[in-house]
Amino acid sequence: MKYYSTNNKNVKADFKEIIFSGTAPDGGLFMPEYVKDNRGEMEELLRLPLHEKAARILYPYVSGITEAKFGQLCTEAFNFPVSIKKLTSDLAVAELFNGPTLAFKDFGARFLARIISYYLEGEAGICTIMVATSGDTGGAVANAFWGMKNVRVVLLYPSKRISPLQERQLTTLGGNVYALEVTGTFDDCQRLVKDAFADTELKNKYKLTSANSINFVRLLAQSVYYFEAFSQIALASRQVRFIIPSGNLGNLTAGILSVKMGLPVHSFIAALNRNRAFLDYLETGEFQPRSTFQTLSNAMDVGNPSNLSRLKKFFNDQVDLMRQNITAFSFTDDATIAKIKEVSDKYNYAIDPHTATGLLAYDKLPVDEKLINIVLSTAHPAKFLETMDIALGAGMVQIPEPLLKLKNLNPKSLRISPEYSQIKDFFSTQFN
């Protein structure tokens, strides 16, 4: 399989290059040259356990790994389930947060980590995974790479814009994990990472590799849970509509990828918070990056979603075609709080603020007997205790063991302003 750049079809790379290079040399994002259509073997595929689904679906995109070894890597990466919570006859929640850091980012991060460690086996030198996080990516990546001896992880997170428990997940591991607290927004963090990758000298010297969703390997892993959720809920007589709490649009892009792979999905809904650059794009056909608002669903506080360029390619740069398949809605924090409370009262079920936007989007949709709606639940509510306390009253959400443990650990991070010179200084003082 070859991959091409969204900026230029003639800029190509193989699998190993796209893992380690982040963006394409021309600044575009990598896309696979073709996507294998699995429709001929769909029934059999859907019956496989999760890790075997992953191995079967993803092997065509990989090179340089035997099928047996790849199966083993998938078994290690996809080692936690997708659970389905049915709310009504046409509405279900797919819980994607059963991994070690309690957010769906564990799928992409664990798969990427297994692939990278496979390729680094026996190689000299240390590779540096650099990642900007709006809250959950950093924790998932740090956890997935923690303790690997020829990898170090540098995390950039926006100061005071992630939840306290999310921050602890980033700052308490130590060892090969370095946390930078940036006094700016997520978009600032994302820009600093982009600048670092554009700095060829720095990139080569420290073997920079991206674990953001600009890395296509993460999206590959995410396409698998669409098959998994579908297999657990789809009935022959009804079609599925996925509702996705969205920020950087990686999750949504992975969903479109799963359709290209043959999964029969009716349509997609992108649920957004006040940060509605993608909705504005769908409405106007013109993309304008926006400055970000801080919201309660902080992992979706993105004004310049990096995966939009991939989405456009999947729809041949035709916004009309995209509109036929994707609808977006934007919601306020007040509505989000009210939804968390309503779902708790009605179903005795606690949802996090991101998942709440998905359930708000469901309310906007006309009833259609032919459809089952699946809201992707992207994080465990205990990661957002402050918000859950406001919505439900204090102490209503049980804190799972992995989060309880964090309370007793010492956080450590370095605060920097959002200027590229600070990144350069950090690398030269820490790693020389």
Residues marked as catalytic? 105
Q: What minimum distance in Å lies between the beta carbon of 138 and ligand PLP? A: 10
User: What is each CA distance from 359 to 117, 242, 252, 337, 371, in whole angstroms?
Assistant: 38, 11, 16, 12, 15
Q: How far is the CB of 213 from ligand PLP (least distance, A)?
A: 6
Tokens representing 43?
Answer: 């029934």
The window from 7-15, 248-256, 272-280, 358-366 that contacts ligand PLP (CB under 6 A) reads 248-256
| Least distance to ligand PLP, CB of residue 136, Å | 3
Q: Is 245 in the site for ligand PLP (CB under 6 A)?
A: yes
**Both structure tokens of 10:** 């003639």
Nearer to ligand PLP, 117 or 357 (CB): 357
Are 151 and 126 in contact by the 8 Å Cβ rule? The answer is yes
- Which one of 4-12, 84-92, 174-182, 239-247 is the stretch in contact with ligand PLP (CB under 6 A)? 239-247
Q: Least separation, in Å, of the C-beta of 403 and ligand PLP?
A: 14
Binding piece for ligand PLP, criterion CB under 6 A, among 78-86, 181-189, 243-251, 422-430: 243-251
189-218 residues near ligand PLP, rule: CB under 6 A:
213
**35-to-2, 346, 352 alpha-carbon distances in Å:** 11, 42, 33
Residue with Cβ nearer ligand PLP (250 or 418): 250
At a CB cut-off of 8 Å and minimum separation 6, what does 370 contact?
Answer: 237, 238, 239
Q: Are 63 and 14 in contact (CB under 8 A)?
A: yes
Residues with Cβ within 8 Å of 374's Cβ and at least 6 positions away in sequence, in order, are 92, 93, 94, 229, 230, 233, 240, 241, 242, 243
Is the Cβ of residue 127 or residue 224 nearer to ligand PLP in the bound state?
224
Among positions 158, 250, 358, 381, the unique one binding ligand PLP when judged by CB under 6 A: 250
Question: Residue 152 or residue 354: which is nearer to ligand PLP going by CB?
Answer: 354
Measured from the CB of residue 65, what is the shortest distance to ligand PLP in angstroms? 26
Does position 19 bind ligand PLP by CB under 6 A? no
Query: Any contact of residue 103 with ligand PLP (CB under 6 A)?
Result: yes
Closest approach, Cβ 244 to ligand PLP, in A, equals 7
Query: Which two structure tokens, joined as six digits, stand for 377?
Result: 């639940």
Judged by beta carbon, residue 127 or residue 322, the one nearer ligand PLP is 322
**Which residue number, 128 or 166, has a Cβ lying nearer to ligand PLP?**
166
Q: Which residues pair with 240 in a beta bridge?
A: 265, 372
Q: Which of 22, 81, 4, 12 lies closest to 218 in space, CA to CA?
A: 22
Strands of the 177-182 sheet, one edge to the other: 208-210, 127-132, 151-158, 177-182, 414-416
How many residues at the interface with ligand PLP, by CB under 6 A? 17
Residues 332-371 that bind ligand PLP (CB under 6 A): 354
* Sequence-distant (≥ 6) Cβ neighbours of residue 297 within 8 angstroms: 245, 273, 333, 336, 353, 354, 356, 357
Task: Assess 248 for contact with ligand PLP (CB under 6 A).
Answer: yes
How many degrees, rounded to 5, is the angle at CA 156 between CA 155 and CA 161?
Answer: 125
Cβ pair 218, 256 in contact under 8 A: no
Rounded to the nearest 10 degrees, what angle do helices 105-120 and 216-233 cross at?
130
Q: Output the smallest distance, CB 355 to ligand PLP, in A.
A: 8
Considering the rule CB under 6 A, would residue 378 count as an interface residue with ligand PLP? Answer: yes
Binding mask 300-329 for ligand PLP (x = CB under 6 A): x-----------------------------
Among 115, 148, 153, 299, binds ligand PLP (CB under 6 A): 299
379 lies in the binding site for ligand PLP (CB under 6 A): yes
Shorter beta-carbon distance to ligand PLP: residue 154 or 249 = 249
Distance CA 371, CA 91 (A): 9
Question: In angstroms, what is the minimal distance from the CB of 133 to ligand PLP?
Answer: 9
53 is an interface residue for ligand PLP by CB under 6 A? no
Residue closer to ligand PLP (CB basis): 169 or 171: 169
Residues that bind ligand PLP (CB under 6 A): 103, 105, 135-136, 213, 245-251, 299-300, 354, 378-379
